[in-house]
Structure 1
Amino acid sequence: MALRHFLTLTDLSPAELEQLIQRAIELKAEHKARKTSIQFPNYVLGMVFEKSSTRTRISFEAGMAHLGGHAIFLSSRDTQLGRGEPIEDSAKVISSMCDIVMIRTFEHDIIERFAANSRVPVINALTDDYHPCQLLADIQTFVENRGSMKGKQVAWVGDGNNMCQSYINAAVMLDFKLMVACPEGFDPRADLVAAAGDHVEIVRDPVDAARGSDLLVTDVWASMGQEEEKAERRRKLAGYQINRTLMDLANPDALYMHCLPAKRGEEISAELMDDPNTVIWDEAENRLHAQKALLEFLLKQAEA
């Protein structure tokens, strides 16, 4: 069987995506019941971090331990990648010593080149274009609380960034409507929007996106690598906050999510972040379970 990677959601079929989410829910229940899920003893996950993260590192490292394997943390300071070694050369070496590799980096081209030269599965743990692992957790959270996303409406509020672009992939695969509310100059990639057809609509007013939605989602206004633009981005995105007023326009049982870390009082109100009924913390925890399901899927595919 051909080697499988997970660089975007579209590396799975819609059926595989739904099966993976159900498996994540099963693994979560097993974990809560303290049932062992050791399947891959002596397997090694290489974790390449060119961008730092709390949730990504903990979830992958803990997840691999739960599966009986081991994870190696590699920052750009610790490898020759940070000293100019060609990506292709690093991929050949790292994949010869690890059973699966996770990369969190900048340009999406980096992970594509790495995967093209890897002998083991490669997972996109975030690039400037996509964040598919977070989408797995978000989808799991919605399914656990509201069931299938098919036919639902999701409002993305803020910058049309990598999270937004992975939501575009999800909208097509799971057959829901994505309303993207962003100011001019912050649109997601035009080719992705065009390919999504009727599944995606871009609006300028968050009110238009929130009205009738079943889920509202946002992200920080300035991501890693955009620190110098922070003041300008804050000015242009200042009306794109998920708050109680916006939630009141959504459907009565609508959920709201944030991939974290959050800036209370900017892209999301402190009131919503601190609401005891929020699913944001379940969403964060589900990174662990969804990624365990992903690791299991890719490792089993590699052995088939």
Structure 2
Amino acid sequence: MLFNLRNLLTAATLRKSSKQLVQHFRSGQPTQTSVNLKGRDLLTLQNYTAEEIKYLLWTASDLKQRIKYKGEYLPLLQGKSLAMIFEKRSTRTRLSTETGFALLGGHPCFLTTQDIHLGINESLTDTARVLSSMTNAVLARVYKQSDLDLLAKEASIPIVNGLSDSYHPIQILADYLTLQEHYGCLKGLTISWIGDGNNVLNSIMMSAAKFGMHLHVATPKGFGPDPNIIKVAEEYSKEYGTKLFFTTDPLEAASGANVLVTDTWISMGQEEEKAERMKAFQGYQITMQTGKAAASDWTFLHCLPRKPQEVDDEVFYSPRSLVFQEAENRKWTIMAVMVSLLTDYSPQLQKPTF
């Protein structure tokens, strides 16, 4: 039985049982794919086609069912090691990657700027070549996207963007898996982004249209996304026949939306801008009043950590909030990324409907 929960809003429906999720995962098309991502980098979802992103979500669903719900042990990464470079602190990215890679039999190595000479006493080029000789992949959580691009250029192993100032692709994969589990299908959904024009929004803009999802964006004046990224998103919207618009009015962006999304207003490295940003984002807090403008089946996402000024407790802890399911799915999607980039694994379950 294929789930479509657009009109079911109780806590019970939002916290599906294991039995229900297993049944959901069994729906869809027969298991077959021509997608092969082995050896690829994941720097931005702009570089991935619709079918390639769907393959990653399919693999994540497959691993989640087989490991979490069926209790299988899948040492798919046995004998492989992962270098985890973190310039920025993290809860979900670090924990999901370390536990996920280890659960698949691999060995994750956590490295901060206190542990390695990243671009200071040793060039990025030299670091990339050394890591290539000792590990099988690198996940890097950095400030500058250009550092990731250089690592990818110089490394002979896959480089995965764990977050940069420009993109956060592994977060968006978790968001899409969560929405696919909840709604049963992504095509036709409308996402409303209410907040800062940051790296998370950029990654949504590089991928939502590929699933046939519409996107409404509300940002304060002067805090919108990069114009170059807007241009690419507009091209995707035209190519895939989706709606994309930008506004400074949160209620206009929320109008008719299935999914309300926000993020921190003050990212790491922007602490000195706090006073200015708090003033600019007045009126942008997501509340039940915001939800009244949305579709009847609206849900809420936030990549965490969350501040009350971004979304109030009534929404954040309500049955409409999918944030903790979203957080858990960071683990299954990063596991899918690592398996897809490092092995020839093919999902065993039927392909979900996207």
Alignment TM-score, normalising by the size of structure 1: 0.95
Q: Which runs of 4+ in 1 moved over 6 A?
A: none
Aligned-partner Cα distance in 2 for 1:66–1:109: 31
Matching of residue 14 in structure 1 with residue 58 in structure 2: no
Aligned-partner Cα distance in 1 for 2:63–2:38: 26
Aligned-partner Cα distance in 2 for 1:234–1:31: 43
Aligned 8 A contact 1:21 1:290 in 2: yes
Aligned-partner Cα distance in 1 for 2:338–2:183: 25
Aligned-partner Cα distance in 2 for 1:288–1:269: 26
Matching of residue 178 in structure 1 with residue 221 in structure 2: no
Aligned 8 A contact 2:38 2:342 in 1: no
Aligned length: 301
Aligned-partner Cα distance in 2 for 1:116–1:92: 10
Greater share of residues in helix: 1
Aligned-partner Cα distance in 2 for 1:84–1:252: 55
The one-character-per-residue Cα deviations of 1:183-239 (angstroms, maximum 9, x if unpaired) are 111110111112222443110100011010011100011010001111111110111
Aligned-partner Cα distance in 1 for 2:98–2:214: 34
Matching of residue 213 in structure 1 with residue 249 in structure 2: no
Distance 1:84 1:229, change over 3 A: farther
Match of 1:282 in 2: 325
Deviation at 1:64, TM superposition (A): 0.5
Structure 1: runs of 5 or more not aligned? none
Alignment of 1:1-304 (within 5 A): 3-33=39-69, 34-81=71-118, 83-197=120-234, 198=237, 199-264=243-308, 266-300=309-343
Deviation at 1:255, TM superposition (A): 1.2
Three-state SS of the structure 2 residue aligned to 1:65 is: helix
Aligned 8 A contact 1:168 1:200 in 2: no
Aligned 8 A contact 1:3 1:301 in 2: no
Aligned 8 A contact 1:5 1:11 in 2: no
Aligned-partner Cα distance in 1 for 2:181–2:140: 28
Structure 2: runs of 5 or more not aligned? 1-36, 238-242, 346-354
| Residue identity matched to 1:185 | G
Aligned 8 A contact 1:107 1:128 in 2: yes
Three-state SS of the structure 2 residue aligned to 1:257 is: strand
Aligned-partner Cα distance in 2 for 1:93–1:223: 31
Aligned-partner Cα distance in 2 for 1:162–1:89: 27
Report which structure shows greater RCO (CA 8 Å, sep ≥6): 2
Aligned-partner Cα distance in 1 for 2:290–2:38: 46
Percent identical among aligned pairs is 39
Aligned-partner Cα distance in 1 for 2:77–2:177: 23
| Residue identity matched to 1:254 | W
The one-character-per-residue Cα deviations of 1:115-173 (angstroms, maximum 9, x if unpaired) are 10111101000000000000000000000000222222110001010001001012232
RMSD: 1.6
Aligned 8 A contact 1:171 1:200 in 2: no
| Residue identity matched to 2:101 | M
Aligned-partner Cα distance in 2 for 1:235–1:299: 46
